[in-house]
């Protein structure tokens, strides 16, 4: 007998979800002992998750792990499907969660801090659950954990803008999740099961109305969180009025997880390759609308939020090309966006804190006052625009290459539009960089840098951006394996149902 069941056959991936959850439940109890140590709990939890996720990567690349909760055979019990995509995303979530929780040590000074840390832990627990689960109703539950804790966190400061955008987000989000639930109900009524692999096994084609309607309902419901074009009215408000550490998570993790859910439902459950042309257009539309709205913004956080919409459009475009290369390019762009946008929001957070204004024009001369933060901000913008040697360059390059590999004049036109989007992106980001470095600020020029707990996560983000930008082959293998997992529905079904 193995007395340490936790360590039998390596580490059980369910710990990635359970440990942060248990710590979140324990926070109020720990708070009775000492209020000071609460803020270190998220740091510990996500350091643990990061280590476990990295340890699991080689094993998962070899073969996906199926975790049966309660020991019941799928489709009768809930199972976790820890494939390459799942482990890739949970590593990303743990990494961003770890770095942003270091940032929050000094950044979160006001308000009910204990509650902030609980909600933060639960937000990322929900995200990890969504990417790992293999059961469609379980996906809904974790999705709700993710959404409800982000509604609460957007309203954290309790100012006018925060409350108002939180309400907007809540109304749209709860309509979306009701639609998702109707879709799940329709699927259950037809197939009598909630296991994703079992449903996928029984769906032959997505064209008949009895399959098409639940698909549309589910994509609409998940698309609210993923911020695909007509469903993203909440995003700029919510991202700009949340605390900056939360904006980084919402922008870097929450939208990506929403997109993951859309992709998983579309590719694995419905196998809907004949509807993907629609998403190609939707992606380009989202990209252009996002970038154009970002161009006309004067508020730095709103600009970054609209830029997120643009990036989401780019990812949707790449993934719906439906080729191996295109899907891995899309996933690469997701990683690039998480790192880049996370860095930008963190840097912007302290720039806003020091100047006490979100207006871009108030950043004049801040390059002298906060040299390190400004440098980090600049690296983030260059990476998002797609300049070498940063991570944005190989990912955007891959997307363009994947799109050009498709035959036809149509894709050439679309690539032209994508490049136009990148040019607009370059224009507004260069404008900010120019304000930071080349405009003389009025008043005192004394240096007042961000505290060290703010600088460390920014520089780890920046180092990762440069490192992967120079050695993209480092993760290309993982991305290829992830892309084939998403495209190969048969293997998914076989590995779950046996």
Partner 1 sequence: MRKIIGIILLIIICWGIILALYKIPFGIPKTKVGEYYIDKGREETGAANVVTSVVLNYRGFDTLGEVTVLFIAAIGLGAALATLKKKEKRKIEPSSLILRTGCRFLFPLILLFGAYIFIHGHLTPGGGFQGGAIIASAFILVYLGCRGRRISEVSSKTTESLGGLIFVIIGLVGLAVGGHYFLSNFLPKGELNTLFSAGIIPIIYIAIGFKVGSELAGVIDNLMEES
Partner 2 sequence: MDFLSNNIYYIGAFGLIFIGLFIILVKHNLIKVIIGISILETGVNLFLIAVGYISKGTAPIFSRPGLNAKNMVDPVPQALVLTAIVIGVAVLALALSLAIRLYKHYGTLDLRKIKEQRW
The residues binding partner 2 (CB under 8 A) are 137, 141, 144, 148, 151-152, 155, 158, 160-161, 163-168, 170-171, 174-175, 177-178, 181-182, 184-185, 188-189, 194, 233, 236-237, 241, 293
DSSP H helical ranges for 133-208: 136-154, 160-191, 196-202
Compute the least distance from the CB of residue 213 to partner 2, in Å.
12
Spatial distance between the Cα atoms of 252 and 94, rounded to a whole number of angstroms: 12
Identify the H or E element spanning 81: strand 79-82
DSSP code of residue 359: B
Q: DSSP of 392-420, one letter per residue?
A: HHHHHHHHHHHHHHS-SHHHHHHHHHHHH
Residue where the block lists tokens 């900010």:
432
Compute the least distance from the CB of residue 182 to partner 2, in Å.
6
Q: Are 369 and 445 in contact (CB under 8 A)?
A: yes
Pick the closer one to partner 2 by CB: 188 or 437: 188
Peptide bond into 75 cis (omega under 30): yes
Pick the closer one to partner 1 by CB: 177 or 328: 177
Cβ atoms within 10 Å, residue 418: 22
Report the C-alpha dihedral over residues 331, 337, 338, 342, rounded to 10 degrees. Answer: 180
Compute the least distance from the CB of residue 178 to partner 2, in Å.
5
Interacting residues of 67 by C-beta distance below 8 A, sequence separation 6+: 12, 13, 14, 79, 80, 82
Pick the closer one to partner 2 by CB: 188 or 411: 188
Pick the closer one to partner 1 by CB: 144 or 449: 144
Residue 293 touches which member of partner 2, partner 1, none, C-beta under 5-8 Å by kind? partner 2
Compute the least distance from the CB of residue 201 to partner 1, in Å.
12
Spatial distance between the Cα atoms of 53 and 61, rounded to a whole number of angstroms: 12
Pick the closer one to partner 1 by CB: 14 or 400: 14
Identify the H or E element spanning 67: strand 65-68
Residue 4 touches which member of partner 2, partner 1, none, C-beta under 5-8 Å by kind? partner 1
Pick the closer one to partner 2 by CB: 295 or 372: 295
Q: Are 113 and 129 in contact (CB under 8 A)?
A: no
Residue 213 touches which member of partner 1, partner 2, none, C-beta under 5-8 Å by kind? partner 1
Pick the closer one to partner 1 by CB: 175 or 420: 175
Identify the H or E element spanning 236: helix 235-241
Pick the closer one to partner 2 by CB: 46 or 143: 143
Structure tokens given for 12: 């059980």
Pick the closer one to partner 1 by CB: 68 or 354: 68
Residue 27 touches which member of partner 1, partner 2, none, C-beta under 5-8 Å by kind? partner 1
Residue 164 touches which member of partner 1, partner 2, none, C-beta under 5-8 Å by kind? partner 2
Residue 241 touches which member of partner 1, partner 2, none, C-beta under 5-8 Å by kind? partner 2
Peptide bond into 28 cis (omega under 30): no
Q: Kindly report the CA angle at 408 between 404 and 409, in degrees rounded to 5?
A: 90
Compute the least distance from the CB of residue 142 to partner 2, in Å.
11
Residue where the block lists tokens 């007395």:
3
Compute the least distance from the CB of residue 81 to partner 1, in Å.
13
Residue 304 touches which member of partner 1, partner 2, none, C-beta under 5-8 Å by kind? none
Residue 243 touches which member of partner 2, partner 1, none, C-beta under 5-8 Å by kind? none
Task: Give the rounded distance of the alpha carbon of 277 from its chain centre.
Answer: 24
Task: Give the rounded distance of the alpha carbon of 402 from its chain centre.
Answer: 22
* Side-chain-facing half-sphere of 487: CA atoms under 13 Å: 19
Compute the least distance from the CB of residue 67 to partner 1, in Å.
7
Give me the residues that bind partner 1 (CB under 8 A), please: 2, 4-6, 8-9, 12, 14, 18, 21-22, 24-29, 32, 67-72, 75-78, 111-112, 115-116, 118-119, 122, 125-126, 129, 135, 137-138, 141-142, 144-145, 148-149, 151-153, 155-156, 158, 163, 182, 186, 188-194, 209-210, 212-214, 216
Phi, psi values for residue 312, rounded to 5°: -60, -40
Structure tokens given for 88: 């890739």
Residue 14 touches which member of partner 2, partner 1, none, C-beta under 5-8 Å by kind? partner 1
Pick the closer one to partner 2 by CB: 237 or 291: 237
Compute the least distance from the CB of residue 2 to partner 1, in Å.
8
Spatial distance between the Cα atoms of 438 and 156, rounded to a whole number of angstroms: 35
């Amino acid at each position: 007998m193995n007395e340490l069941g936790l360590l039998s056959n390596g580490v059980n991936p369910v710990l990635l979800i359970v440990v942060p959850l248990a710590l979140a439940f324990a926070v109020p109890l720990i708070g009775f002992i000492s209020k000071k140590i609460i803020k270190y709990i998220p740091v510990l939890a996500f350091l643990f998750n990061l280590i476990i996720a990295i340890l699991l990567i080689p094993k998962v690349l070899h073969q996906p792990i199926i975790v049966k909760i309660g020991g019941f055979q799928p489709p009768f019990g809930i199972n976790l499907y820890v494939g390459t995509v799942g482990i890739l995303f949970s590593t990303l979530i743990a990494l961003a969660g770890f770095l942003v929780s270091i940032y929050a040590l000094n950044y979160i000074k006001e308000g009910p801090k204990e509650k902030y840390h609980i909600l933060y832990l639960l937000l990322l627990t929900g995200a990890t659950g969504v990417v790992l689960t293999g059961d469609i109703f379980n996906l809904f539950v974790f999705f709700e954990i993710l959404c409800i804790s982000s509604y609460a966190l957007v309203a954290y400061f309790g100012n006018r803008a925060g409350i108002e955008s939180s309400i907007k987000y809540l109304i749209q989000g709860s309509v979306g999740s009701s639609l998702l639930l109707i879709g799940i109900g329709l699927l259950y009524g037809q197939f009598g099961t909630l296991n994703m692999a079992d449903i996928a096994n029984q769906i032959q084609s997505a064209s008949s109305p009895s399959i098409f309607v639940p698909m549309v309902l589910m994509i609409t419901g998940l698309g609210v969180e993923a911020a695909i074009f007509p469903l993203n009215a909440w995003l700029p408000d919510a991202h700009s009025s949340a605390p900056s550490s939360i904006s980084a998570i919402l922008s870097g993790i929450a939208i990506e997880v929403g997109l993951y859910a859309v992709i998983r439902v579309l590719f694995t459950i419905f196998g809907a390759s004949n509807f993907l042309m629609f998403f190609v257009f939707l992606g380009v539309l989202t990209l252009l609308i996002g970038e154009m709205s970002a161009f006309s913004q004067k508020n730095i956080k709103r600009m970054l939020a609209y830029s997120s919409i643009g990036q989401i459009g780019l990812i949707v475009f790449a993934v719906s090309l439906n080729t191996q290369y295109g899907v891995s390019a899309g996933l690469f762009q997701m990683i690039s966006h998480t790192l880049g946008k996370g860095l930008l929001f963190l840097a912007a957070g302290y720039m806003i804190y020091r100047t006490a204004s979100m207006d871009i024009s108030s950043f004049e001369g801040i390059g002298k006052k906060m040299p390190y933060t400004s440098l980090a901000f600049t690296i983030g913008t260059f990476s998002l625009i797609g300049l070498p040697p940063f991570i944005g360059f190989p990912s955007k390059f891959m997307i363009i290459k994947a799109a050009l590999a498709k035959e036809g004049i149509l894709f050439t036109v679309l690539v032209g539009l994508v490049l136009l989007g990148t040019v607009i992106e370059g224009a507004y980001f260069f404008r900010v960089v120019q304000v930071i470095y080349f405009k003389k600020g009025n008043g005192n020029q004394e240096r007042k840098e961000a505290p060290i707990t703010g600088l460390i996560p920014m520089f780890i983000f920046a180092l990762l951006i440069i490192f992967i930008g120079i050695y993209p082959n480092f993760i290309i293998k993982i991305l290829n394996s992830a892309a084939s997992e998403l495209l190969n529905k048969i293997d998914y079904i076989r590995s779950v149902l046996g």
